[in-house]
Amino acid sequence: MMSSKLTAEYVRSLIERGKRLDGRKLDEFREIKINYGVSEKAEGSAEVMIGNTRVVAGVKMDIGEPYPDMPNKGVLVTSAEFLAMAAPEFEPGLPGENAIELARVVDRGVRESGAIDLEKLCLVEGEKVWVVFLDIFVLNHDGNLIDAAGIAAIAALLNAKLPKITEDYEIVRDELTDPLPIKDIPIPITIRKYGEHLLLDTTALEEDVLTGKFTVTTKINGNICAMQLSDGMSMTKDEVLQAARMARDAATKIREKLFKDKLKELKKA
Amino acid sequence: MPKKKSEESKSNNKGAVRPDGRKVDELRPVKMEVGVIERANGSAYVEFGKTKVVAAVYGPEPMHPRHLADPEKAVLICRYNMLPFSVEDRKKPGPDRRSIEISKVIKDALSTIVALEEFPKCMISVDMVVLQADAGTRVAALTAASLALADAGIPMREMMSAVACGRANGKIVVDLTKEEEDAEDAVDVPVAMSSLTKKIALLQMDGDMTLEEFEEILNKAEEACSKIYDMQREALLNKYEKEGKEVNINDE
């Protein structure tokens, strides 16, 4: 618990009146900023800031074996870590259940949306494919980590280029070639609630005061490709559907704002 | 052994449209039994078709290790695990990323109905083991866990029932099998719903679906969960009616 009872009461009473501590509306996002290419050694990378929340994602590519049941498809491996520097309550060590959950929710969004054209990452069917390592690190935790991580993930993937390979499938690390084939822009949006009020883009303080979260990841066409309700929140069926619509609309706005050019290109294709 | 129950009779298969002959809103044969682990405070066995799960509850007991105790409420510990031989290719024993995530969402869901505030500084452990997997293991485990908690006499505001709904081969269906989950167009939505207030406490999804399909899936899940709840009630009544009779005989 980082908040006093008094602060918690105040945050709740504001929400009941449709207001928030930082003056935003309940469904209003903080400003989102993306820095591309934070690491030149990575095949692709991006840092995403939502307010004070700061998440960095990097892509490394290797050549490996495909899964036996998908011999003609590349492989995606997603991991996430909440760095100890990101918040006083975070401890060093192996990723805990929250970091594992975040990685798996982001992974499902990317995978199920078909964002990466995995078939184009096949080099020799059944033998050699590209393996995409997507690693996500939380640098500063001021709430809404899943959304920040999801945006950082797709930004890093959009920033990624395939390294050059020789005839014997050796990777030439310092020569990048074509961009990673990307077909969609999945955006996860996490909803929290107090009473019947639904909130988007919560701060760490708000998350401390509220219980539970519901993440809905949508594709460019508005379809849902991943969902996760957790942390001890329960919702009625109507609330779930309302939240899903909110998530779809918020994702559409974010996509148009942050990924305008790619969106235009994908919609044309 | 309790007898198998199929909500539709096998002979009436006119509306059958699924690989195993079920109708779209038909559950697999469900079997439930309470009190299967004698040493545990509460336990349950649940079968959804070929998916078989055992759950056992220990506690409330003093939190161990003590520094993790919560002065305001009991800590709920959930462990979901698949036995190595429960799946096609042997699964390495012990927790992995998948089982850690599933354990977490089950814990999160159950914590909405268990009266944890009644037992500060204590822990309640729920262990769930998948003996045989044919899809829907997390919802079968959660259904069994809810039964085991009730069997242990842990105060709960309501019961919880869970089922996976989704889309397979172009149809919105309940209680998918592995075969259906592997369909080209498969959408898998595990849902857990509380018995009285009908609140959704576990909801996951992977696949690709429209909002309209999602609404249909939720409606089907609600119906299926209330059917499962009726069976949970009956399983609990079965055990306690039997025990009640035994007590009466001893009295005479």
Q: Is residue A149 part of a domain?
A: yes
The confidence score (pLDDT) of residue A269 equals 81
Per-residue pLDDT of A141-168, as tens digits, reads 999 999 999 999 999 999 999 999 999 9
Mean pLDDT of A233-240: 97
pLDDT band at B11 (very low <50, low <70, confident <90, very high): very low
- Residues of A within 8 A of B78 (CB-CB) are none
Per-residue pLDDT of B59-113, as tens digits, reads 999 999 999 999 999 999 999 999 999 999 999 999 999 999 999 999 999 999 9
The confidence score (pLDDT) of residue B62 equals 97
Query: Between chain A and chain B, how many beta carbons pairs sit less than 8 Å apart?
Result: 98
Nearest CA to CA, how far is A37 from chain B (Å)?
Answer: 29
The confidence score (pLDDT) of residue B16 equals 61
Mutation for A interface: B89, B206, B214, most A CBs within 10 A: B206
The confidence score (pLDDT) of residue B3 equals 45
Say if residues B108 and A231 touch (Cβ distance below 8 Å): yes
Inter-chain contact B214–A112, Cβ cutoff 8 Å? no
Inter-chain contact A234–B112, Cβ cutoff 8 Å? yes
Q: Compute the distance between CA of residue A89 and CA of residue B135 in angstroms, rounded to an integer.
A: 37
Q: Is residue A87 part of a domain?
A: yes
Structurally, chain A folds into a number of domains equal to 1
Under DSSP, the state recorded for A66 is P
Chain B residues within 8 A (CB-CB) of chain A?
Answer: 97-98, 100-101, 103-105, 108-109, 111-112, 189, 194, 197-211, 214-215, 218-219, 222
pLDDT band at B26 (very low <50, low <70, confident <90, very high): very high
Per-residue pLDDT of B170-191, as tens digits, reads 999 999 999 999 999 999 999 9
Mean pLDDT of A119-127: 96
**Of the candidates A23, A121, A69, the residue with the CA atom closest to the CA atom of residue B178:** A69
Q: Is residue A184 part of a domain?
A: yes
Q: Compute the distance between CA of residue B249 and CA of residue B75 in angstroms, rounded to an integer.
A: 39
Inter-chain contact B208–A225, Cβ cutoff 8 Å? yes
Under DSSP, the state recorded for A222 is S
Query: A181 touching B, CB under 8 A?
Result: no
pLDDT band at B13 (very low <50, low <70, confident <90, very high): very low
Inter-chain contact B201–A234, Cβ cutoff 8 Å? yes
The separation between the first and the last C-alpha atoms of chain B, rounded to the nearest angstrom, is 27
| Mean model confidence pLDDT for chain A | 96
Three-class SS state of A1: coil
pLDDT band at B17 (very low <50, low <70, confident <90, very high): confident
Q: Tokens 């939505």 appear where?
A: B189
- Residues of A within 8 A of B198 (CB-CB) are 236-237
Inter-chain contact A223–B208, Cβ cutoff 8 Å? yes
The confidence score (pLDDT) of residue B241 equals 84
Is residue B197 pLDDT above 50, yes or no?
A: yes
Inter-chain contact B108–A240, Cβ cutoff 8 Å? no
The confidence score (pLDDT) of residue B89 equals 92
Under DSSP, the state recorded for A78 is E
Inter-chain contact A227–B207, Cβ cutoff 8 Å? no
- Which amino acid makes up residue A122? C
Say if residues A236 and B199 touch (Cβ distance below 8 Å): yes
The confidence score (pLDDT) of residue B107 equals 98
Inter-chain contact B204–A227, Cβ cutoff 8 Å? yes
Q: Is residue A6 part of a domain?
A: no
pLDDT band at B7 (very low <50, low <70, confident <90, very high): very low
* 3-class DSSP string for chain B: CCCCECCCCCCCCCCCCCCCCCCCCCCCCEEEEECCCCCCCEEEEEEECCEEEEEEEEEEEECCCHHHCCCCCCEEEEEEEECCCCCCCCCCCCCCHHHHHHHHHHHHHHCCCECHHHCCCEEEEEEEEEEECCCCHHHHHHHHHHHHHHHCCCCECCCEEEEEEEEECCEEEECCCHHHHCCCCCEEEEEEEECCCCCEEEEEEEEEECHHHHHHHHHHHHHHHHHHHHHHHHHHHHHHHHHHHHHHHHHC
Nearest CA to CA, how far is A248 from chain B (Å)?
Answer: 9
Range B200-232 burial, b when 16+ CB lie within 10 A, else e = bbbbbbbbbbebebbbebbebbbebbebbbebb
Q: Is residue A8 part of a domain?
A: no
- Residues of B within 8 A of A235 (CB-CB) are 199-200, 203
- Residues of A within 8 A of B202 (CB-CB) are 229-230
The confidence score (pLDDT) of residue B250 equals 59
Nearest CA to CA, how far is A249 from chain B (Å)?
Answer: 12
Say if residues A47 and A92 touch (Cβ distance below 8 Å): no
- Which residue did the predictor score with more confidence, A60 or B17? A60
Per-residue pLDDT of B215-229, as tens digits, reads 999 999 999 999 999
Q: Is residue A9 part of a domain?
A: no
Is residue B8 pLDDT above 70, yes or no?
A: no
pLDDT band at B240 (very low <50, low <70, confident <90, very high): confident
The confidence score (pLDDT) of residue B9 equals 42
What range does the domain containing A25 cover? 16-268
Query: A91 touching B, CB under 8 A?
Result: no
| Mean model confidence pLDDT for chain B | 92
Per-residue pLDDT of B109-144, as tens digits, reads 999 999 999 999 999 999 999 999 999 999 999 999
- Residues of A within 8 A of B101 (CB-CB) are 97, 100-101, 104
pLDDT band at A1 (very low <50, low <70, confident <90, very high): low
Q: Partners of B250 in the beta sheet?
A: none
CATH of the domain at A86: 3.30.230.70
Q: Is residue A229 part of a domain?
A: yes
Q: Compute the distance between CA of residue B211 and CA of residue A223 in angstroms, rounded to an integer.
A: 7
Which among A112, A212, A232 is the nearest to B207, CB-wise?
Answer: A112
Give, in order, the Cα–Cα distances in Å from B146 to each of A197, B155, B235: 29, 11, 12
Mean pLDDT of A23-47: 97
| CATH architecture assigned to B30-251 | 2-Layer Sandwich (3.30)
Is residue A104 pLDDT above 90, yes or no?
A: yes
Is residue A99 pLDDT above 80, yes or no?
A: yes
Q: What is the ipTM for the molecules in this complex? A: 0.94
Which among B112, B197, B200 is the nearest to A232, CB-wise?
Answer: B112
Residue spans per domain, chain B: 30-251
Q: Which helix (H) or strand (E) covers residue A137, if one does?
A: strand A128-140
Which among A113, A235, A248 is the nearest to B211, CB-wise?
Answer: A248
